[in-house]
Structure 1
Amino acid sequence: MSAQPGPVVPDDDHDPVVTVREAEHWFATHGLPWFVEAVDARVVELLKPSRLVPLLAVAGVLGALAGGLLGGTVDAASGVLLGASVVVLVLLVYVGGPLRVATMARWAARRVVSELNLLLPLVTRALPLLLLFMTFLFVNTEVWQVASTMSRTTVWGTVWLFTAIGAAFLLTRLPEEVRRVEAMVVRDGVAGACSGTPVEAAAAHVRPDAAHVPLTRTQRANLVLVLLVAQSLQVVLLAVLVLAFFVVFGMLAISDDVVVSWVAPILEPQGRQVPSPITLFGFEAPAGFPVSNELFQVSLFLSAFAGLYFTVYAVSDANYREQFFAELDSELERAVGVRAVYRAASARLASADPAVDPSAAP
């Protein structure tokens, strides 16, 4: 079994301190904090069971205490919701700070603007057939009965279920994309992958086999998260468009009399008004508001289903991937290339002064 190649030290006059600093700044602005060697080592340490088990225990105890207090004074459902929220909050603080996920979140916020530029081609390519299929469900009596009889908590639970299924599907497919990009950079060389990055000049002096050093598990996970966020933003944009379409379509085409004929036989025996006023985040819409609770719940349910359908379609359809993944593929290639230059500069810096921590470069 052959040994893995070590860091490839470039034979050039570029200041390795500057190269390391530029590479680390590039990683931070592109949602790749785990590509920094010191951060990568720290993340590996923080993800060990000896760290995670006590964290989960503390989060569970705090969640149980908060949920128990509220559940005893209000109701059990509110207590469960508060307890789960406390657990999630504790975990978010942990991943946002020590694990540097906040850096990825800032990149994701900037990425929203880029995804908006894809809105028109996304609408013209993905929406027509999807809406044709979903509209038949929208005018189906059984769909209205199922969605209308759900409580709002159940509807949101269904939305989160579809979201979890879609995320699980992406997480099984996106690692293949990362491995494919790694192989492309190894085949084509580092210099081309670093085109347009701050380390482009330094990359020209790095040996072609610099990219042969494989990514660490956490670095691969970082790239998968970048892909997951980018794909999720597209899914959310499309789901919001579907939601808006069905709300407007329902206002125009589905009269209150039709809604009553579809769902009143089920809801009125339960003492529920049909159509009922929409309630959002505890606020009830005023009388005469054109969107009923039934219309909103059906639209929300179908938009979540459309998001799941689109998630599977986006990863499986070759033509879609070619059109919408091209920019992401280029960004992944640049990440792998910049990482190779970064490792080479770090190795050169360490060989010049073993006491220097490359990640602490000013």
Structure 2
Amino acid sequence: MIEGYGFFDHVLPRMLPSLTCVALASLAWLIPLRSAGSQAWILLGGVAVTTLTVWGIVTAFVRRLPRFSRTTAIAVLAAYAAMPVAVPLIQLAVDGTVTAPGGSVVGLLGFVIFFAAVFLATLLATTYGFGTLLRRAVRHSVFDLRNSVHLLGRALPALLFVTLFLFFTGELWQAMNRLSWWRVSLVIVLFGAVTVLAAAARLRDEIGRVEQDLSLPTLSAACQGTPLAGVPIEHLVPNGQLPAMPLTARQERNLLLMLASRQLVQAAVVGLALFTFFIALGVLVVTPETAKQWIGEEPEASVLLPALPVALLRNATLFAGFGSMYFSVTSMTDTDHRQQFFAPIIDEIERALTVHAVYAVVRETIPATLSGRGIR
């Protein structure tokens, strides 16, 4: 939600610790493992410790110097771009061949693809704050687990009413006995995509609603406890209502990631409970003879859990994914479920949008005050 958020001014400095970590970790390829013998893993451990130490130092440096000059930015990019060529050439000169730590031969193209993929992944993760979103999702998942009795007590009865009778369908057991795990995984991904699409549609409605209620009391309440708490908002809103501040496409995508990550984590808690329930139900009710009759042949046993038919595990996975999607969509549309499960998430997004509106006005109208408070 930073205005003027750009690659050289904001993204690249935040990428530097990760890029440095990857560049130093690539030094593992310089270790001649064949000649190092039993000391190879000690050398690799030394590289790992050095990499983590330098990563911490660079992170502290970036926090003190959050912006780079154009010359510094170009130097960082040039140094990283040289690594895919420098690492194999140095190892070729030292060891006579270019190999990975496991001993397989790696070509120059492989290094280029690896470094390019890491750069692209780091760019996306930094631009959209994947690390922060992941930490927030983990914290909220712990909260959901602490309140799992309340969460599951409200969610499971309705979900079981929708899915329970389908569990005893013979045709479904036949399909799950033949369906491969990667196809089941694609179905789960499809359910997750539906959840994200539903969250995107709901987010657009919520943004429009917040933009219509940027009144002075709402702005003042939202800014409490933030660096904008002391800003004279009444002078910024002479008419008592702040005009709507349109968001960029990147900002909307970032809000969608925040909402989707919270919804998916909450759905995962419900899905885990559903998976456990259907496994227990299948063990208690569906005997091996019944499973054989439904499937029409001897059920395929699971590799990890030989006592359970693989059709039971796939059925439980399928119903857990469907139930999670149903719960997520219902929590955004049903009035009762929305108040219990969706309102806390929307409250955070509403506050972020409201504070962002004040921040955008302050950035445009009172640059001296903004600079003095250290707000960027």
CA contact (8 A) 1:211 1:337 kept: no
1:146 match: 175
CA contact (8 A) 1:155 1:297 kept: yes
Please say if 1:132 is aligned against 2:157: no
Flag the 1:100–1:313 CA change in 2: closer, same or farther, 3 A. Answer: closer
Please say if 1:157 is aligned against 2:186: yes
Question: Partner amino acid for 2:343?
Answer: A
1:237 match: 269
Question: Partner amino acid for 1:309?
Answer: Y
Cα offsets for 1:154-207 (capped at 9, x unmatched): 111221122222322322222112221232334753102224445434366653
The separation in 2 between residues aligned to 1:183 and 1:338, in whole angstroms, is 14
CA contact (8 A) 1:235 1:311 kept: yes
Please say if 1:100 is aligned against 2:129: yes
The separation in 2 between residues aligned to 1:336 and 1:319, in whole angstroms, is 25
2:143 match: 114
1:333 match: 350
Flag the 1:296–1:359 CA change in 2: closer, same or farther, 3 A. Answer: farther
Question: Partner amino acid for 2:184?
Answer: V
Please say if 1:214 is aligned against 2:245: yes
The separation in 1 between residues aligned to 2:183 and 2:200, in whole angstroms, is 25
Indicate the SS of the match to 2:300. Answer: coil
RMSD across aligned C-alpha pairs, in angstroms? Answer: 3.5
CA contact (8 A) 2:191 2:325 kept: yes
After superposition, residues 15-30 of structure 1 pair within 5 angstroms as none
Question: Partner amino acid for 2:200?
Answer: L
Give the CA deviation at 1:252: 1.5
Q: How many residues in Structure 1 have an aligned counterpart in Structure 2?
A: 272
The separation in 2 between residues aligned to 1:277 and 1:86, in whole angstroms, is 42
The separation in 1 between residues aligned to 2:116 and 2:168, in whole angstroms, is 40
Q: Percent identity?
A: 26
Indicate the SS of the match to 1:37. Answer: coil
1:262 match: 294
* Greater relative contact order (Cα < 8 A, sep 6+): 1
Question: Partner amino acid for 1:337?
Answer: T
Q: Which runs of 5+ in 1 are unaligned?
A: 1-34, 47-84, 269-273
Please say if 1:322 is aligned against 2:353: no
1:36 match: 2
CA contact (8 A) 1:147 1:294 kept: yes
CA contact (8 A) 2:211 2:244 kept: no
Deviates more, 1:329-338 or 1:248-257: 329-338
CA contact (8 A) 1:239 1:307 kept: yes
Indicate the SS of the match to 2:193. Answer: helix
CA contact (8 A) 1:191 1:337 kept: no
The structure whose Rg is larger is 2
1:224 match: 256
2:302 to 278, 282, 297: 278
1:170 to 176, 193, 199: 199
The separation in 1 between residues aligned to 2:228 and 2:189, in whole angstroms, is 41
Q: Which runs of 5+ in 2 are unaligned?
A: 13-113
1:4 match: none
Flag the 1:319–1:247 CA change in 2: closer, same or farther, 3 A. Answer: same
CA contact (8 A) 1:138 1:298 kept: yes
Deviates more, 1:97-106 or 1:305-314: 97-106
TM-score of the two chains, using structure 1 as the length reference:
0.64
The separation in 1 between residues aligned to 2:8 and 2:210, in whole angstroms, is 26
Indicate the SS of the match to 1:184. Answer: coil
TM-score of the two chains, using structure 2 as the length reference:
0.62
